Structure 1
């Protein structure tokens, strides 16, 4: 091969739009993204010598071309030979760097006398029209060429590739690109421009769940200059296809804004010329680039080029197929068709997606009740330890006998099979005995936490229709017609099995409703057995394990803890309430009892992990199960440093009360923490998950939507709420299977794993912007000085002008300046997403279920205002009383009970923090229960100081 080139000339900067766009720094790093190429058959008799002479003449008129390289080669094959075809393709795919070389020409001569010109150019200097003119002028230098001056230097770098929520790209795929050929079709000549643009908009709107689609549009042709626009098209479900086509037809001309930034998706639309082979991109211009060409006869062909860092190859193929489907629909749909009428996912594809989210059951589901399964374990291991609390340990035989006595007593008090029995007991062995006794009596238990306010207890008893309540507190609120029994009264002779079946209700747990009114979820026995059948083998659950019952019996995580231990022969340790609230005390319990299976919400685990970092290694935990709320996997970095994943398995499980605690399972590794994985894994054996749009249609892989759960865990119904039951439980319109609509947002991966993306209603609106609070929390957690964070909507939520975002933070030490945290957040978040207030707390308050409790949080600004007005007209000389008034209000007196005045565990946390800020020692939650007035706490702290006791007590 011979080559010739001219010296490079310096060229002035110019204002050509194409040049400015393609001069960006990232195109310098990968010039193929800014190059295009043209293959044209040379006229007979025109060879390499003529093209070289014509190039010399052109460089005299156009200095920018002086760096153009010219190669020529003679192939010993005919022009139609496969070897010739491959060689043309290879030369057309080789990029030029754009600075200094803006173009390269190759003349390929064949054995049959034919010759091809292969021209490759950088778009910063040679746009589509110029490339066509240059190819013509190299055969006839008399032809005019309009070559714009290239933009000088490199434009700004636009940072990392934008993330597509549905792209599922792999950061490890940076630098790898892929190609998917789009279906060639024929459309009306006057629709050739609009159809591919409209099709892209419709698919992007469906994938994004929006009414509009925004993307970059680059148009080019042999006769017109390139244009680059940022366009936004109406493409919601109600949009008529005709209106979408009309908007698309004008998108590249009068509509749209000049292209800026680095959009994730771009459409390149080029008019072809007969006989030429034009390649609009050699690599993706945008992370997702749809390059279309339309010819004079209306033939429409295209290719999808993509970055694997942004788009998974499976998703790329899926996306291309859906664009093809919309192109066909737009070309042939009858008048009046709307975007929502076009089925993006066809029945075969929907069936494959649903199959990916389903895991077959292992050996079928259990046909036994919970207490029957327990009896089988007790009969096999009567002397093995079953249940331990702070005072005693019961064997399986003893637990079996004592729960039999409770069942007999309940039957003696009139409890009949199928009844609901309320259980409101402290966390000790009596609680577990009572739950098992209720089941053995043929009834279902309705757990209530002893810390619940009286109003909630009354509502639960009244709504459930329970006529009997087992309660340890003498002051359990009176309800007409309801008998309240103390555990000490529950002694009776064993009774015959009442004959309950696996489809009878085992328990009813009340969960928060969107309206604030708790709703009772009725779960059959069969579901609990199915949960253990689905997990016992994988998690190696068995008699060698010791579990903790850490959570409230009114939280469904306790179902997993209690029956997970007792139905697999394990040893269950009941964690007292105050021990569960003290990370150090709980850590001591784990070490003392050699606990092997630990279940935690991420919020509770964050505090335990910090306690573990301060203690000598001594844990025997081999399995940690997360549930109850979304897990930020970065929380595990320190944990894996002390507890390698090869010795302590960490499992993230997504689940809902309405689907029997757990639905999916994902074992986590340090690699997952590094990648920031949001996967909660595949469905458990016997369960299924799928993701749907608002109309219930199956969403494509990667596309967010509402999570539907089917299979063995779906609960029976909501108690006394037929309309809500019908709305959330029912037959799947696609499969006919009974499913539960979770209200959670997720996306399904091609391998069947589910990403949990929060609640659908987790979005808030501030000043017209839709905001996901989890995104702000994630940025705050990336601050090295922040160990925990919560973000809530504050201000006057009834007044759009008064809405604001409030952030609550736990810092690594008291000296962390809030303003530094704010400044860092402002570096990563747009102005409208930066919280208006930042409040430091000693720890985030938790509900009885171990989740973050934000119901009564007040930002520091409001707390300060309260403090300024506290005691107006009534001086508070006692520093403890001043703190009391700061938290509860100026009307509080020294002898007023903290809890009677509206205090709760959340406000107790605020009280502890306020005491610290006032230079006083904090008090524990236990101490506050014992000394609930300001005067008593003041005396307690005075006595502690006089005795020389340290003030570093665990904060509430």
Structure 2
């Protein structure tokens, strides 16, 4: 049998403090009242009865549990200096139940009670919680320390307390259902806990909800996290039904009393959260008492109006005025201040602010020569080089909005984006960009040539930033991407909110690391150029080679770096091995959740005082970033999931499934308001209305993010993942339903399911998209994969496609992902045993690939068909260097992606080095 912990013992004990009437022989009376001798411990207290020291001593004695091997009853007489005596009785409830304790008390006070003839044989470990309470925000260092908050229930009545507690627990739990535990000590029963399972149906009436408490409770498999202890009222003295919480959060109600006591484990529940919960229980009880029987229970509010507004204001609602201005005008002001300063570095090409401004003017003039109307959406599909930045700025100078597209996107996606955005022009140097009716394709040089001819001077608009600056397409659940329309003023607001805190200025060097089709690039480009920094454009293949990128950071003396956590994890490994002198002073994380534990080794080499690490949560629809938190070594130790507080001008609130504001603690959907909220989705009016809504409480537009989070009492936000079928992989936001829709459009596919798996739960780089398809007879999985690659960008293409006889379903008719087979065991072939004359390099390559892919590999396998991705490429290259094999560039890896091709390449390079 497991030895009970101290808090488990305390949860099984109760206590009673008696004020003795004058001189009483307690030892004699107690020996007559109980079936076995009990020692009365005499303790002098050198103060009067009402002194704080006396009160603290009574409380300490009344909460000290019985030792597991001690007698079932302990008696301590506290003798005060004013001649008064309190007798503190502490007993094991299972052996000395409330009725027996009352008999003993009456016998001691006036001899009217009957003595207890024998102790029953009962288990003495008591009832104890072992659960967690996610919304409690407790301090783990206080685990086992009990706290208490008194609740006044005079106006509500006992009969409404249980329903109010259950409704509050349901709202806090966020799932519309809860289990309320009840330990009834007033009916003379044993330590049996009953449970009321409750669902808060939106259509249910108040009468329906209350009626459920007339039904019999059930016996739980384990105690729930919130519960009530019903105890008899003791007129004889001050009674405590349980010395420690029976449930993580326990409401102790002394029947017949006007007050209840909320008891809780401070390791699980913060005192402020317990006080808040108790107030919400009281508020709900009042509404239950005042509501008509047929009123929908969903109309009952957890928070009073004043508190709801206070929570919204604490999250930033109503703070700050929207920024004004345009990106291109802000750049021109910076160029006028420092025309000779270097603005852009791209390989051997260097442009000053004046040169960048002039070349962008030429792009704008070229667009005007084509009679492109102001406000048009201009496609930009260029590699990461100087022309990309020049073109984006030039499009803005022409009073147009740019629509970035990655040259590596499939033709179908490029064609869809061009048609969806109704582009009159796409500026691209890609030779195979698909032809789109009504859209003209031009290389950047052609615009410069057009600008050299006679053109009319452009008339600059007088807008103050309300016109769109760009449209970035993100994944869509219907199978088609959706374009997010972001105005100029939002980008200016982002810089106003961050420049001072991050100390951004002309002394900084940034990198443009990310694709222009990923909104992290908005922050990289304009965050640098509008604060006077120097922007270093990182070529695509350098972004895929961590060693090359690390060398670039050192050589260019980069001070501000923006990375997804997955990419930075590879940089940490390179930094451990190479250890060059870096100038980094600020690293901003975004694009995906950060597991701060990965930063431990970085902090050992780069003190937080030298290089500030900032975790930022953001969404394309709210202009890149929403919150910011500086990560500290302490965060690494505690594994903090906080993404910080909202940026100035942004607001954050947490709401339940009905859109009701939640207080700090409970988790729900993150709603974002303020200066960063985009204009909506291009051409998707209905979807815009669903996701961009008007907050009736504040009158502000807010965005329903679909992300799950919780607020702390100090306003910090925890990001807890997605609520829907959307995921983030290596910074890209992906709707799994879009991938499924594409698969269902493939020939001979009758059903499909898509999931994300991780070979290593703690390693984001091991994330992969696994697809499952039901095929018609004689169909081929390879054709399905080819169809997906022709439609989806690389980061959305499934790493594996597994054929199954059917997609298993839950009882609710949804895909039961837990019953899908492991794609690795379903499709992988066993590792070929090396032949006698197998080359050592081949053995090493297969071993490294197998380790990184977490599956057996043979020479015929393709690295990417087995789930390889860009981050795993970097890991393979790094491990090869550690084993003294030749350096392989990512470009070489992608062009030699089967194990046989790769092995042959390594062999050739090895022979060349000899």
Does residue 1:535 correspond to 2:498, yes or no? yes
Please give the alpha-carbon distance, in whole angstroms, between the structure 1 residues aligned to 2:564 and 2:672: 21
Number of the residue aligned with 1:615: 578
Aligned to 1:459: 416
Q: Supply the distance in 2 between the matched residues of 1:368 and 1:675 (Cα, whole angstroms).
A: 42
1:210 aligns to what? 175
1:612: how far off? Answer: 1.2
- Asked if 1:55 is matched to 2:30, the reply is yes
| CA displacement at 1:313 relative to structure 2 | 2.0
Alignment of 1:293-308 (within 5 A): 293-295=254-256, 299-308=257-266
- Deviation string for 1:716-768 (max 9, x for gaps)? 121010101111113112211111111111112221111111111159xxxxx
Q: Which residue of 1 aligns with 2:291?
A: 333
Equivalent residue for 2:315? 357
Structure 1 residue 569 displacement after superposition: 0.3
Of 531, 545, 562, which aligns to 1:568?
Answer: 531
Residues of 2 paired with 1:146 and 1:528: CA distance?
Answer: 80
Q: 1:477 matched to which residue of 2?
A: 434
Selected match of 1:437 from 367, 370, 394: 394
Instruction: Please report how far the alpha carbon of residue 851 of structure 1 lies from its aligned counterpart in structure 2 after TM superposition.
Output: 11
| 2-structure distance, mates of 1:86, 1:934 | 74
In 2, Cα distance between the equivalents of 1:386 and 1:849?
35
SS at match of 2:285: helix
The 1:268–1:799 alpha-carbon spacing in structure 2 relative to 1, beyond 3 Å, is farther
Greater alpha carbon shift after TM alignment, 903-912 vs 688-697: 903-912
1:856 to 792, 799, 813: 799
Residues in 2 aligned to 1:359 and 1:657: alpha-carbon distance in whole angstroms: 20
How big is the shift at 1:392? 1.1
Residues 490-547 of structure 1: CA distance to partner in whole angstroms, max 9, x if unpaired? 2115844532621111100001112231100111111111110110000000000000
Contact 2:616–2:627, Cα closer than 8 Å, also in 1? yes
Shift of 1:386: 0.6
C-alpha distance in 2 between matches for 1:646 and 1:358? 28
CA contact (8 A) 2:62 2:88 kept: yes
Q: 2:232 aligns with which of 266, 271, 276?
A: 271
**2:721 & 2:421 partners in 1: Cα distance?**
29
1:25 aligns with 2:4: yes
Alignment correspondent of 1:178 = 147
Q: Distance in 2 between matches of 1:311 and 1:678?
A: 18
> What are the within-5 Å matches in structure 2 for residues 763-912 of structure 1?
806-809=757-760, 855-857=798-800, 862=823, 866=827, 868=829, 906=869
Q: Does 1:140 align with 2:115?
A: no
Asked if residue 165 in structure 1 is aligned to residue 134 in structure 2, the reply is yes
Higher alpha-carbon deviation: 411-420 or 232-241: 232-241
| CA separation of 1:426 and 1:736: change in aligned 2, threshold 3 A | same
Counterparts in 2 of 1:554 and 1:136: CA distance versus 1, 3 Å: same
Cα root mean square deviation, aligned: 4.5
Cα distance per residue 1:10-65 (max 9 Å; x no partner): xxxxxxxxxx9xx9612x367544432224566x7x8522x432322344xx23xx
Following the alignment from structure 1 to structure 2, what is the Cα–Cα distance between the partners of residues 259 and 864? 35
The aligned counterpart of 1:785 is none
Please tell me whether residue 227 in structure 1 is matched to residue 192 in structure 2.
Answer: yes
Q: Return the match for 2:327 from 370, 374, 377.
A: 370
Q: Within 5 Å, give how 1:542-561 maps onto structure 2.
A: 542-561=505-524
The offset of 1:94, in angstroms, is 5.1
Q: Which has the higher mean CA deviation after the structures are superposed, 165-174 or 708-717?
A: 165-174
Is the Cα contact below 8 Å between 2:570 and 2:871 reproduced in 1? no
Shift of 1:935: 9.0
Q: Does 1:290 find its partner at 2:251?
A: yes
CA distance in 2, matches of 1:97, 1:870: 60
Q: Aligned match of 1:498 in 460, 463, 486?
A: 460
Contact 1:98–1:124 under 8 Å retained in 2: no
Q: Secondary structure at the match of 2:578?
A: coil
* Matches for 1:380-399 after TM superposition, within 5 Å: 380-399=337-356
Closer, same or farther in 2 for the Cα pair 1:800/1:55, shift >3 Å? farther
Report if the CA contact (8 A) 2:206-2:292 is conserved. no
Tell me by how many angstroms 1:206 deviates.
0.8
Measured in 2, the distance between the counterparts of 1:310 and 1:232 equals: 22
* CA–CA separation in structure 1 for the residues paired with 2:409 and 2:526: 24
**Mapped pair 1:242 → 2:185:** no
Contact 2:155 2:286 survives alignment (8 Å): no
User: How far, CA to CA, are the matches of 1:121 and 1:799 in structure 2?
Assistant: 67
Once the two structures are TM-superposed, the CA of residue 614 in structure 1 deviates from its matched residue by 1.1
Counterpart CA distance in 2 for 1:536 and 1:804 is 39
Displacement of 1:562: 0.2
Contact 1:604/1:851 (<8 A) preserved: no
Equivalent of 1:105 in 66, 72, 75: 75
Contact 1:606 1:635 in 2 (8 A): yes
Distance 2:442 2:657 in 1: 47
TM-score by length of 2: 0.81
In structure 2, do the counterparts of structure 1 residues 930 and 862 end up closer, same or farther at CA, with 3 Å as the change threshold? Answer: closer
Question: Which secondary structure state, in structure 1, belongs to the residue aligned with residue 343 of structure 2?
Answer: strand
Q: Report the more deviating stretch, 559-568 or 278-287.
A: 278-287
CA distance in 2 between partners of 1:209 and 1:751 (Å): 21
| Alpha carbons 1:421, 1:446 under 8 Å: kept | yes
Structure 1 residue 663: deviation in Å?
0.7
Q: Could you tell me whether the CA contact under 8 Å between 2:544 and 2:874 is conserved in 1?
A: no
Deviations 1:214-253, CA, capped at 9 Å, x for gaps: 2432111275544333442334444443344343355xxx
Query: Aligned equivalents of 2:890 and 2:253: distance in 1?
Result: 67
Distance 2:866 2:407 in 1: 16
CA contact (8 A) 1:604 1:850 kept: no
Question: 1-side partners of 2:633 and 2:875: how far apart?
Answer: 35
Q: Classify the secondary structure of the residue corresponding to 2:134.
A: coil
Corresponding position: 1:125 with 2:95: yes
Counterparts of 1:850 and 1:549, CA distance in 2: 21
The equivalent residue for 1:685 is 648
Over 3 Å counting, the alpha-carbon distance change for 1:726 and 1:512 in structure 2 is same
**Contact 1:167/1:315 (8 A) holds in 2:** yes
TM-fit CA distance, 1:281: 3.0
Distance 1:275 1:612 in 2: 71
Closer, same or farther: CA 87–167 of 1 in aligned 2, 3 Å: closer
Alignment of 1:489 with 2:423, yes or no, is: no
Residues 270-304 of structure 1, C-alpha deviations (whole Å, 9 max, x = no match): 12144543222334333322111111xxx442011
CA–CA distance in 1 between the matches of 2:754 and 2:118? Answer: 54
Is 1:667 aligned with 2:630?
yes
Q: For residues 305 and 621 of structure 1, do their structure 2 counterparts lie closer, same or farther at Cα, with a shift above 3 Å needed?
A: same
Q: Give the 3 Å change call, closer, same or farther, for CA 460–275 of structure 1 in structure 2.
A: same
Per the alignment, residue 195 of structure 1 pairs with 160
Higher mean alpha-carbon deviation, 607-616 vs 464-473, is at: 607-616
Q: State the 1:488 CA deviation.
A: 1.9
Aligned residue for 2:786?
none
Q: Distance in 1 between matches of 2:499 and 2:349?
A: 27
The verdict on how the C-alpha distance between 1:374 and 1:276 changes in structure 2, with shifts beyond 3 A counting, is: same
CA distance in 2, matches of 1:689, 1:74: 53
The one-character-per-residue Cα deviations of 1:593-625 (angstroms, maximum 9, x if unpaired) are: 010000011111111111111112411110010
C-alpha distance 118-867 of structure 1, shift in aligned 2 (>3 A): closer
Tell me what 1:12 maps to: none
Tell me, yes or no, if the aligned pair for 1:133 and 1:222 is still in contact at 8 Å.
no
Q: Which moved more, 1:392-401 or 1:91-100?
A: 91-100
* 8 A Cα contact 1:32 1:96, kept in partner: yes
Q: Is contact 1:440-1:497 (8 Å) kept?
A: no
Cα pair 2:323 2:675 within 8 Å, conserved: no
Q: CA deviation at 1:455?
A: 0.4
With 337-346 and 506-515 compared, the bigger mean Cα shift is at 337-346
